Amino acid sequence: MSLSVLTPLPGTVVAIEDVPDAVFAQKFVGPGVAVDPIRNGQDVTVLAPVNGKLAKIHPHAFVILTEAGVGVLVHLGLDTVTLQGKGFELHAKEGSQVNLGDPIITWNPTNMETLGFNPICPVITMEVAEERLDLPKPGAAVNTGDKLLSIN
């Protein structure tokens, strides 16, 4: 099985170990990478990086379960759960089928940073061995829809 996970929002690739949150950096949730989003003052709509069922959605994060049984978590910013949904607009419902590129959540990374939150976005593959991942080079610029990582 090979599965490509596409970039859900534009920015710069950051190694998961360099995310300033131990839960992600120490891979407690799973292996992956992060995207440090472009901050230009504009709202950004985060898109589905894979096809599948929207297994869980919160204002600040979502998990899509692929047909292959792989969960892909996209987390918008660090500690943004404390905002209790403020600053996030949801475009999809939990339990729905989503296709690659479907809009999931709109937010503003610049505003998050202004409020004191780090807007970095971990993209995590859940219950996948790290050695199965083909990860991008940290520092690489990525655009929405670019291949972010693959699972082999």
Q: What is the CATH number of the domain that holds 112?
A: 2.70.70.10
Confirm if 28 and 123 have CB atoms less than 8 A apart.
Answer: no
Q: Is 88 exposed, middle or buried (0-12, 13-18, 19+ CB in 10 A)?
A: buried
* pLDDT for 54: 99
* pLDDT for 146: 97
Confirm if 3 and 130 have CB atoms less than 8 A apart.
Answer: no
State the residue range of the domain holding 9: 3-151
The Cα–Cα gap between 3 and 32 comes to 13
How many domains does the chain contain in total?
A: 1
Task: Write out the chain's pLDDT in tens, 152 residues.
Answer: 689 999 999 999 999 999 999 999 999 999 999 999 999 999 999 999 999 999 999 999 999 999 999 999 999 999 999 999 999 999 999 999 999 999 999 999 999 999 999 999 999 999 899 999 999 999 999 999 999 999 99
Is 91 considered catalytic here?
no
Catalytic position from the list 58, 60, 75, 91: 75
The predicted model scores a pTM of: 0.97
